[in-house]
Amino acid sequence: MSIYLDHAATTPMIEPAIDAMQRSLRKIGNPSSLHTDGRSTRKDVEEAREVIAAALGCQPSEVIFTGSGTEANNAAIKGLFWAAPDKNLIIVSAIEHHAVLDPAHWLVEHEGAELIQVPVTSDGVIDCDFLAHLVTTRGSEIALISVMAANNETGVIQPIHRVVEIAGDIPVHSDAVQSFMKVPLSYSQLGLFAMTISAHKIGGPLGIGALILRRAFEMPALLHGGGQEREIRSGTLNAPSIVAFATAVTENIYNAVTVSSLREKFESGIADVAPDAQINGTGAGRLPGISNITFPGTQADFLLLLMDGKEVSCSTGAACTAGVHRPSHVLMAMGHDEIGATSSLRFSLGATTTVGDIEYALSVIPEVVAMAKAANSL
């Protein structure tokens, strides 16, 4: 038995998307070519662009295909900063994904930018009063603001509409990779300047994402060459993956009510099998399928290995680099100490999660936690 509870990392590709990708792979024609084969492939790409735009409430011309959500985040953070040469300040939340934090830090190190991270509450919600004070006192210096739509570790949903209101004329970018197709999300209604999405979180293929960017806005590109995608993302368009991305949107099988019910069952069970466990972010609105749980007296990396040994796939909230375990910057920002921030697992449910999956995971957690506590006490 293999139980997959790591859908926030990647979720299984749905069959209709696989079929659409295979059909596209059998076609010939570069979408930038002017002959019949090229135009046919281009038509597929543009139809896919229209599908994704409709799902997001934006114009098709505002959808810029990229190789991943990470690339889209990099393009947005660096591009918006470079587009405002008279402004030097970057504002991000303290709980951003490293795909936002790292390019921001790169700009600090290589371009002389100043970076301020907005704190969050103990439930992981951005401090809008802090942000408002920054905009009031230093608004003329701010090149961009980036706040994720929902956190990848805790699932906590951020008040993006309020962030945009506070920002006024300052460009706001939001990493919506975890939120897209999970909760209602409208680019136009939110009033965002830029947004990032990715296919492999919704049943599409790996290696394809999109940056949603206001039409007619020009910004410096990361990649140069063929001038594709409004000259912001050069490179031959990955038509098979783009087509599969749109198919995953059209055939969306994610039922938020069902997934949320399964998470409630799981978290209720946790209270029974691990009474001292702490579920993070429960005081805020969360995505339906993410549950981040701290197990006191354990080490997350050992918990993860033990769960894997029981054939349950989940993840830690912390990053591991070169074998060195690091505390989760998200949980640290929420007020956890280093011990607590290295004692948490993320269980993320998806469209294919079943009641049986939840019951099996709950059945092995008591033994896993007991073993992890015993090992940690040595």
- CA dihedral sign of residues 178, 256, 361, 5: negative
pLDDT band at 221, cuts 50/70/90? Answer: confident
Distance CA 20, CA 245 (A): 9
Tokens coding 12: 């299984």
> pLDDT of 59-110, one tens digit each?
999 999 999 999 999 999 999 999 999 999 999 999 999 999 999 999 999 9
> pLDDT of 108-117, one tens digit each?
999 999 999 9
pLDDT band at 193, cuts 50/70/90? Answer: very high
**Residues forming a β-bridge with 318:** none
Distance CA 237, CA 30 (A): 8
Domains of the chain as residue ranges with CATH: 15-250 (3.40.640.10), 255-376 (3.90.1150.10)
Cβ distance 351 to 259 under 8 Å?
A: yes
Residue whose pair of structure tokens reads 């394809």 in the numeric block = 208
What is the reported pLDDT for 321?
42
Positions annotated as catalytic residues are 320
Distance CA 313, CA 66 (A): 28
The per-type count for the chain, helices as H runs and strands as E runs, is: 13, 15
**Residues forming a β-bridge with 278:** 294
What is the reported pLDDT for 222?
86
> pLDDT of 324-357, one tens digit each?
568 999 999 999 999 999 999 999 999 999 999 9
Return the minimum-mean-pLDDT range out of 42-46, 71-75, 216-220: 216-220
Return the minimum-mean-pLDDT range out of 80-94, 167-181, 248-262, 308-322: 308-322
Q: Is the pLDDT of residue 322 over 80?
A: no
Q: What percent of the chain has pLDDT over 70?
A: 98
What is the reported pLDDT for 33?
87
Cβ distance 240 to 249 under 8 Å?
A: no
The mean pLDDT of 163-169, rounded to a whole number, is 98
Q: Whose CA is closest to 209, among 225, 226, 229, 231?
A: 229
- CA dihedral sign of residues 54, 286, 271, 304: positive
What is the reported pLDDT for 37?
86
